[in-house]
Amino acid sequence: MIIRPTTNWFRMLFVWNGSVLQAIIPQLLLMLVVSSLALLTDGRIFGVKIPLDTAPFPMVGISLAIFLGFRNNASYARFAEARHIWGQLLIAARALASQAITYLPQETSGLDQQLLLRRLIAFVYALKHQLRQTDPQQDLARYLPATEVQQLQGMTFKPVAVLHTVRAMLHDAVQRQGGQTQLLWMLDTQLNDLAATVAGCERIKNTPIPYPYGVLVHRTVYMYCFLLPLGLVDAIGVATPLISVFVAYTLFALEAIAQQIAEPFGLAPNCLALNAMTRETERSLLELHGEPLPPSIQPCPRYQID
C-alpha cells in the first residue's frame, strides 16, 4: 500500500508514487495518437468524414458516470470490509492472548503461554500468505516447531490448522485446571471470532465483483474515449489532443483504481498494507508476554509499497 505524508495542493498535482498514472500511461499514449490522427485527418477515417459532434457525449457520459460510480463503490466496499475484518482479527487475537495469560497460569494449567502466542502469530502470518498466495514457510519457521511447520506444508488451509492446534491447547489447559466450562466458553468465543475473520477474508478473496460489470465498464470507457476526438475536432480544433487525453486520464484512472482496490489482499500499490498490519499484530502479542518486539514497518519519507 502507498503511504504518503500529507502534502500541499501544489505538490499533489505532481504526485507520481501512489497514483495510478504509471499503470495507464500506455492507454494515454494511445489516446494521444488517436486524437492527433483525428486532428490531422479532420475527423476522417479512410477518407470518410465521421459526422460526430459533441451533443451525444454528455448523454453517454452520464451513463458512464453511473457505471463507474457503481464499480468504484463496490470496489471500495470490498476494501473497507477487508480492513474491518483485519481490525477484528487484531481485537480477537489480543483478547485471546490476554485471557489465556491471565486465566490460565502455567503453574496450574500447564499451558505453554509462549508457544500459544507464537502459534497465534503464526496464524496471522499464515492467513496473510494464504490470501496473497505466497510462501509462508519462512514466517512460520520463526514461530513454530520444525515438526509442526513440516505438517503444515501439505495443508491447504494453514490458518485453520494452526487455529485448531491453539483450540486443542486451550482445551487441555482448561481441563487440567479443573474443567471450568465458563472459561472454556469465553476462550472459545475469541477462537470463533478468529475463525470468522478467516472465512470473511476467504469470502472476499474468492468472490470477485461479477465479471460482466467489469467488461461493461471497460468497453464503455474505451469506446467513449476513442470516439471523443472525432466529436471534438470540429469544435475545438488543435486543443483536441489535450482535452481528449485529459478526459481519458480521468476515466482510465477511475477504472484502474477500482480494479486495484477490488482485490484488497493483492500486491498492487493501493491494496491493504498486510505486511504492516501483520507486524503490528505480532508486536502487540509479543508485548503482552513481555518479549522483545521486532521493529514496526514504517513508510520511508516519500512512499512505501507494502
Structural domain of residue 115, as residue ranges? 85-207+280-289
Per-residue model confidence as pLDDT tens digits over 172-218: 999 988 878 889 999 999 999 999 999 999 999 999 888 888 888 89
Residue keyed to cell 494511445 = 30
Residue 270: inside a domain: no
User: How many domains does the chain fold into?
Assistant: 1
Residue 42: inside a domain: no
Residue keyed to cell 514457510 = 137
Give pTM, 2 decimals: 0.86
- Contact call for residues 260 and 250 (beta carbons, < 8 A): no
Residue 165: inside a domain: yes
Residue 158: inside a domain: yes
How many residues would you count in the chain?
Answer: 306
- pLDDT score recorded for residue 306: 54
Residue 297: inside a domain: no
Flag the least confident range among 47-51, 118-122, 124-128, 237-241.
47-51
Distances (CA, A) of 35 to 54, 131, 219, 221: 15, 42, 18, 15
> DSSP secondary-structure letter at 19?
B
Spatial CA neighbour of 33 closest among 229, 209, 204, 216? 229
Query: Is it the case that residue 5 has pLDDT exceeding 60?
Result: no
The three-class DSSP label of residue 192 is helix
| Radius of gyration from C-alpha coordinates of the chain | 27
- Average pLDDT, stretch 145-167? 93
Question: Which comes out higher in pLDDT, residue 27 or 61?
Answer: 27
Residue 133: inside a domain: yes
Distance in angstroms (rounded) separating the CA atoms of residues 186 and 42:
75
Residue 60: inside a domain: no
Residue 230: inside a domain: no
Per-residue model confidence as pLDDT tens digits over 235-294: 888 999 999 999 999 999 999 999 889 999 998 878 898 999 999 999 999 999 899 999
